């Protein structure tokens, strides 16, 4: 049972050259998938953050400034 965990040790063969070094032949598939997943999560977070920032800017412009925005927000929050 020497190769019992062969799935966890999968290596992908890659024929390309590293940017600053020599050829890199063995790439860990799990690591590359993790990098891609992290990239997707970070991009989604950035898009949501930019959307929130733009909505905040739109609310500030619609209400006529910071004081009007805070006043209208408190009115909406408290219902008074």
From CA 59, how far away is CA 51, in angstroms rounded?
A: 12
The pTM (predicted TM-score) of the whole model is: 0.53
pLDDT tens per residue across span 34-57: 999 999 999 999 999 999 999 999
Residue with tokens 């050259």: 17
4-39 tens-digit pLDDT: 555 545 554 545 555 555 555 667 888 889 999 999
Residues 80 and 52: their CA atoms lie apart, in Å, by 26
Q: Which backbone phi and psi does 30 adopt, to 5 degrees?
A: -60, -40
**Residue 72 is encoded by which pair of tokens?**
């209208």
CB neighbour list of residue 11: distance below 8 Å, 6 or more residues apart = 26, 27, 28, 29
Kindly report, residue by residue over 59-73, the tens digit of the pLDDT: 899 988 999 999 998
């Amino acid at each position: 049972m020497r190769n019992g965990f062969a799935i966890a040790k999968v290596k992908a063969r890659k024929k390309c050259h590293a940017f600053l070094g020599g050829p890199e032949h063995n790439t860990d598939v799990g690591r590359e998938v993790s990098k891609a997943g992290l990239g997707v999560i970070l991009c989604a977070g950035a898009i949501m953050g930019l959307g929130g920032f733009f909505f905040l800017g739109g609310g500030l412009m619609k209400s006529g400034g910071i004081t009007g925005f805070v006043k209208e927000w408190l009115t909406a929050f408290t219902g008074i």
